[in-house]
Structure 1
Amino acid sequence: MYLHHYAEPLLSRALASLLLLGAFSAHHASAQEAASFSMTASNPALSGEPLGISLKGLQPGQTVNILAERRFAPNAPIYMSTVEMQADAQGNITLATSASKAGSYTGVDAAGLFWSMQPSNKVDADWQAAETRLTALAGQQQLAQMKFALRSSITPVKTETIGGHAGTKIYLPATSVNADSKPPVVIILGGSEGGDSAGRRFGLKLAARGFAAVSYPYYSPNTPRGQEVPGLPKDFIDIPIDGLDALYKTLAARNDIDSSHIALMGGSKGAEMALLSASLLPWVKAVVAIAPSDLVWEGFAMDRLLEAGRYGSFSYQGKPLPFTPNAGLDKAFATTQPVLGHIYIEGRKANPERAKAARIAVENFKGKLLLIAGGDDQMWPALEMANNIVTSRKAAGLETELLSFPKAGHLVGGDGYSPNDYQTPFAMGGNAREDGQAQTIAWPATMAFLKKALQGGK
């Protein structure tokens, strides 16, 4: 007011210029200090690898909400999670070191925003494939946003069907880890869900890390939508290990992979098959068994109850292999979300001689073995059975790596960056937090194990 009325025009213009310069400087400083996300990983980012996400430019001690959103497929619902976090003395929040005070998870967890996601009703056609968004909010005010793609592979992968083996696919990396070598092979064995779901889940991720990943669906049950892979057994009865041996012969005839270095990677019933196959087939060099079994168990059908104790799970060279009967399966299925763990515990107790005959001779496998198990597994006692495997191999002078997670459940297989939303008909044990944290530890350990066993650590 004073300057407007009494200052000389020249002085007024000079002061106005200074004020304008000051306003520009203040605006420039404000823009530089504005909150922003950063990520050390590339964009697109490889799922399962550290992302290095930070939020900077906040006030020291400021509390903000971080909303994470992710869409996995076109027109699919968007998965969401949210946490409340507080900036440190420098005004920064780092997912790997900053604790969530409330929200989808609490505590410190670099992957917590991802495994804690839940499906929402939100569908947005503008989203790109595999797009992920992080938004920082103070109340209703948006402070910062970052968009990036989180993918199973960020390098080209070629996918082929393998003739003569129903539903079998191979995922080939575009370039080998070593230009002078061919990629080693990891054969993926799914669990009681059957079909090709395990291959879809892990094929690209393994190929992205330099392995020739082979999805081998060995059975495909009847479902309300029909049989996913026609031509495969519909019941988990006397599944022939010979089929895996025949696949090996097909792979050995290829000149674009290293068939002298093959690992089996299986979860649950797939882990049972992997361990059994490794004890019988000399070409297996390494095994990753997730939620494993030390015994061959009774067979089953997904769409009906079979006569108790009559059918086994596997066969070899045309003969059914000894198996341990379950106990109380009919009673378990009378509940709304069956807890199956006790049918194996009681089956072993009730049939000690049959359990002895059905023990998988893991000491016959001289290769590298990694076991991953949760102590709260409600599908079957995976950790107890993993410890039995370790004991048997130790007695034979063989080393075994065991990753045990006392509070995790059956779903310890994964890379930790996919939602653990538990839409399952059976009780799995654990919870999203325990399983997610187990996965974020087990996945890099699995990749390191396979690289050491098949690639010499390269």
Structure 2
Amino acid sequence: MDIVEQEPAGPWEGLLAAPVGGSESGVLVLAGSSGRVPRERARLLARQGIAALAIRWFGGSGQPPGICEVPLETFTAAVDLLRRGGARRVGILGVSKGAEAALLTAVRDARVDVVVALSPTPLVWCNVGPGRDGADRPYRSSWTWRERPLPFVPMDDSWTPAEPEGDPVAVRGWYERSERTFAGSLAAAGIPVEETRAELVLVAGGDDEMWPSLPFAERLAARSRAAGGTVRLIARDDAGHRPRLPGEPPSPPSPRFRYGGTPEADALLGEAAWPHILDALRG
């Protein structure tokens, strides 16, 4: 399908890709803590008939340099843009911290019809990197709403990696320990997915070494279903943190982190999830 591309109107660095002739389905596309603008993923979705807006949501001009007290209004404003562009059905597709943002936005914005959460979390976590003041400690919330920080789970800095110094690190154990250490914070920091009307598509790998996204996704699914929500959970035990959608290249290895999975397993998870993602976004 032929597509047209343009810089989005508004304060963001990003890309708005849409089918020629437009679409009644739109999706906001969010990367995770890499901070990149997922332009190729937006193009991939646009070629499937869905208007796709990819934005930089931290680290840009006028934004916090890290994922620290990022206003959720960043994402509701992007929903505005998609609506003004003619989208009657709006989704948010995010991975990792972007999935955290997507779920939280859907809880607060009833115009969101679908959330596609790749490698999600059921909790609000603390900041990853510095806020506008340049400080990353003490820990603060990743997000604000109406200028108020959301309750969050901090990290237990007594954790140490098992890998030799200089090797890529699996930080899953850090998140698991932090949940145990700060068990008293979990209830307030839980993402209340039972409060959203949005359909959820949760995609997770059991070999995720960044955080335990499959148990996390199962908790989200159970919480939503208990309230009568519509949930699809697509998982593979051998996939990692970075599901790969059909048409996307393999993710390059990181010198800093272990993401788990294999290129083959991550691609198979993305292939299994793809028809569910498209069906949900198209409605």
Look up the match of 1:426.
Answer: 257
* SS of residue matched to 2:246: coil
- Contact 1:290/1:413 (8 A) holds in 2: no
Q: Please list the CA deviations of residues 14-60 of structure 1 after superposition, one character each: whole Å capped at 9, or x if unmatched.
A: xxxxxxxxxxxxxxxxxxxxxxxxxxxxxxxxxxxxxxxxxxxxxxx
1:195 CA drift (Å)? 3.0
Look up the match of 1:193.
Answer: 34
For residues 4-403 of structure 1, the aligned pairs below 5 Å read 155-176=1-22, 182-196=23-37, 198=38, 200-220=39-59, 229-254=60-85, 257-258=86-87, 260-301=88-129, 306-308=136-138, 310-328=139-157, 331-332=160-161, 336-403=167-234
Q: Please list the CA deviations of residues 191-210 of structure 1 after superposition, one character each: whole Å capped at 9, or x if unmatched.
A: 000131x2x12111111111
1:443 CA drift (Å)? 2.2
Q: Considering Cα pairs closer than 8 Å and 6+ residues apart, tell me whether 1 or 2 has the greater RCO.
A: 2
* SS of residue matched to 1:386: helix
1:188 CA drift (Å)? 0.4
- Contact 1:278/1:287 (8 A) holds in 2: yes
TM-score after normalising by structure 2: 0.91
Q: Please list the CA deviations of residues 93-149 of structure 1 after superposition, one character each: whole Å capped at 9, or x if unmatched.
A: xxxxxxxxxxxxxxxxxxxxxxxxxxxxxxxxxxxxxxxxxxxxxxxxxxxxxxxxx
Q: Which amino acid aligns with 2:146?
A: Q
- Contact 1:295/1:324 (8 A) holds in 2: yes
Q: Please list the CA deviations of residues 329-379 of structure 1 after superposition, one character each: whole Å capped at 9, or x if unmatched.
A: 773496531211111111111111211100000001122110000001000
Q: Distance in 1 between matches of 2:176 and 2:19?
A: 42
* Cα separation, partners in 2 of 1:239 and 1:216, compared to 1, 3 Å: same
1:399 CA drift (Å)? 2.6
Contiguous gaps of at least 5 residues in structure 1: 1-154, 177-181, 221-228, 454-458
1:390 CA drift (Å)? 1.0
* SS of residue matched to 1:401: strand
1:164 CA drift (Å)? 2.3
Structure with bigger gyration radius? 1
Look up the match of 2:235.
Answer: 404
Q: Distance in 2 between matches of 1:439 and 1:424?
A: 24
1:420 CA drift (Å)? 4.5
Q: Which amino acid aligns with 1:279?
A: V
TM-score after normalising by structure 1: 0.57
* SS of residue matched to 2:49: coil
1:398 CA drift (Å)? 1.6
- Contact 1:415/1:439 (8 A) holds in 2: yes
Q: Distance in 2 between matches of 1:315 and 1:413?
A: 30
Q: Distance in 1 between matches of 2:219 and 2:209?
A: 18
- Aligned CA RMSD, in angstroms, stands at 2.2
1:421 CA drift (Å)? 4.4
* SS of residue matched to 2:67: coil
* Cα separation, partners in 2 of 1:266 and 1:355, compared to 1, 3 Å: same
**Greater strand fraction, Structure 1 or Structure 2:** 1
- Contact 2:126/2:155 (8 A) holds in 1: yes
